Structure 1
């Protein structure tokens, strides 16, 4: 993954709020969507599911949310 320290996208402010409580509950048996470490570790798999429209399970995210997650995964997931 590329690292761009100038990208302001952060987990707490930008990524965590994208996941609702019911999304978190649905995935807790696998990992915690509100945990930076868990989401960072599984970012590629999460992104693939977001692109497929199979995550979250009740509807696909708007493209701009998927793009935001992808940008974070590529640039900020290590922070």
Structure 2
């Protein structure tokens, strides 16, 4: 098998996405939705990505591009729990 043929494992909310959200992020958004809850994040994923890309979230600075790309990849792969 060539390295080019190797596909990375699909991202999962529990191990790859949830850890991106800090307690501060969760606490600042919990009145709207819970960033540590798979169902809430999956339901609001488009709004979350928009807020991350615009810099509106998190409230204390922007995410690195790699983290935004990671959540977008998770969505593109079907938003696995």
Q: TM-score if structure 2 supplies the norm length?
A: 0.85
2:34 maps to 1:32: yes
Q: Give RMSD over aligned pairs.
A: 1.4
Which protein has greater RCO, CA pairs closer than 8 Å, 6+ apart? 1
Structure 1 unaligned segments of length 5 or more: list them.
1-5
- 1:78, CA displacement in angstroms? 4.8
Deviant stretches of 4+, over 3 Å: none
Structure 2 unaligned segments of length 5 or more: list them.
1-7
Q: How many equivalent pairs are there?
A: 74
